[in-house]
């Protein structure tokens, strides 16, 4: 039977990120992460598959939340309205209390090419999952792909703005502004 450590997942996550920032991702061992919060390596592996998963384990949940929100949108919603609803729902994952963690995580990932590649793969996977979810609503394949990729474009830009120095608006506010901008930008197309 696995012993329950209250909050161990979060403590490990915070400790790992601080060590990655202080001494570099490559240089940090699982043993060091566990030790820094008074846990053993064995305990670490009950929470995360490896040190990379500390940075990425939440993204599977995020993808599922996006897909569920697409399915739950009102039947009459147009494709980008569905995406907008999904962005609004999933922005809950990124509350004010998570901004500092997200900033640090972004710093760690930006400094390490394999992590950056992993992040881009996750976003590509999210785009495909969104497109498939839109198709299940009856949206034609090409339009579904376009709406999904456009949604990821908005999410990517909004997220980078949300973690920018001095930004105080919530993620959903930034997303809303960008969707408004997108409408203006697209209307100018001939």
Which residues are at the interface with a second copy (CB under 8 A)? 78-81, 84, 113, 116-118, 120-121, 124, 142-143, 145-147, 149-150, 152-154, 156-157, 160-161, 177-183, 185-190
- Give least dist CB 114 to a second copy, A: 8
| Residue 48 or 175 having the CB closest to a second copy | 175
Strands, E assignment, 10-155: none
- Give least dist CB 8 to a second copy, A: 31
Burial class (CB in 10 A: 0-12, 13-18, 19+), 128: middle
Q: Residue 170: which of 80, 70, 99 has the closest Cα? A: 99
Measured CA to CA, the distance from residue 17 to residue 21 in angstroms comes to 6
| Residue 61 or 183 having the CB closest to a second copy | 183
| Residue 44 or 119 having the CB closest to a second copy | 119
| Residue 2 or 187 having the CB closest to a second copy | 187
- Give least dist CB 27 to a second copy, A: 22
Side-chain half-sphere CA neighbours of 173 within 13 A = 9
- Give least dist CB 24 to a second copy, A: 20
Q: Residue 85: which of 60, 64, 68 has the closest Cα? A: 68
């Amino acid at each position: 039977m696995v012993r329950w450590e209250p909050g161990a997942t979060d403590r490990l996550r915070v400790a790992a990120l601080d060590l990655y920032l202080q001494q570099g991702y490559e240089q940090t061992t699982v043993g060091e992460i566990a030790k820094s919060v008074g846990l053993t390596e064995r305990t670490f592996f009950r929470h995360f598959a490896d040190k990379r998963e500390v940075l990425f384990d939440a993204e599977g949940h995020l993808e599922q939340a996006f897909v569920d929100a697409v399915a739950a949108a009102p039947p009459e919603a147009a494709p980008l309205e569905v995406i907008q609803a999904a962005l609004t729902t999933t922005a809950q994952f990124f509350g004010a209390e998570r901004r500092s963690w997200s900033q640090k995580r972004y710093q760690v990932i930006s400094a390490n090419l394999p992590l950056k590649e992993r992040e881009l793969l996750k976003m590509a996977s999210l785009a495909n999952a969104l497109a498939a979810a839109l198709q299940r609503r009856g949206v034609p394949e090409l339009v579904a792909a376009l709406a999904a990729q456009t949604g990821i474009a908005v999410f990517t830009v909004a997220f980078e703005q949300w973690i920018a120095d001095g930004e105080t608006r919530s993620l959903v506010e930034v997303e809303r502004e960008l969707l408004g901008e997108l409408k203006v930008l697209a209307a100018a197309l001939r």
